[in-house]
Amino acid sequence: MSRVIAHFSRRYHFSASHRLHVEALSEEVNRATFGKCNNPFGHGHNYVVEVTLSGPVDAVTGMVVNLSDLDLFAQREVLDLFDHANLNTLEAFRDRVTTTENVCVEMWSIFSRFAESKDYPQVRLERIRIEETGNNSFEYFGEGAAVR
């Protein structure tokens, strides 16, 4: 009997500020590289993070994952830390520029812990997508993923 594999996506929202700046670069190079995003006072976004998981559809519940479990994890591991935060002050970005590309990679690291938990041994993290603005979105498929 073959197992049915499904993909499940869930969106989470948080607001945060940041400043794109590299200490090793001069003020002029930072301004030329990051433009208005290098504002010394920072700026903010209303981010939308979409996590996509795949796995077998449970024969009893009909679900890939329990939505309540995922929501509790996201609240504890993402929203409590990132919502209304200055991303530049978070430990995760001590050695990384707070670009949304890097936020995407960090979200992958966080949500991979959910997918690798003992409660969901057959669930796989497929994708992280972050909308930074109505015009900018970023996707990450994990290290070593082929360009799609």
pLDDT at 148: 53
Q: Which domain holds residue 18?
A: 5-140
Question: Is residue 21 annotated as a catalytic residue, yes or no?
Answer: no
Q: How far is it, in rounded angstroms, from Cα 128 to Cα 138?
A: 8
pLDDT at 1: 43
Query: Looking at the domain assignment, is residue 148 inside a domain?
Result: no
Residue from 72, 110, 94, 84 nearest 23 by CA? 94
Catalytic residue among 37, 77, 101, 139: 37
Q: How far is it, in rounded angstroms, from Cα 103 to Cα 130?
A: 8
- Number of domains the chain is built from: 1
Query: Looking at the domain assignment, is residue 147 inside a domain?
Result: no
Catalytic residue among 77, 101, 126, 132: 132
CATH of the domain at 54: 3.30.479.10
Query: Looking at the domain assignment, is residue 146 inside a domain?
Result: no
Tens of each residue's pLDDT in the chain, 148 residues = 458 899 999 999 999 999 999 999 999 999 999 999 999 999 999 999 999 999 999 999 999 999 999 999 999 999 999 999 999 999 999 999 999 999 999 999 999 999 999 889 899 999 999 999 999 999 999 987 665 5
Catalytic residue among 7, 13, 43, 84: 84
Question: Is residue 106 annotated as a catalytic residue, yes or no?
Answer: no
Q: How far is it, in rounded angstroms, from Cα 140 to Cα 51?
A: 10
Question: Is residue 77 annotated as a catalytic residue, yes or no?
Answer: no
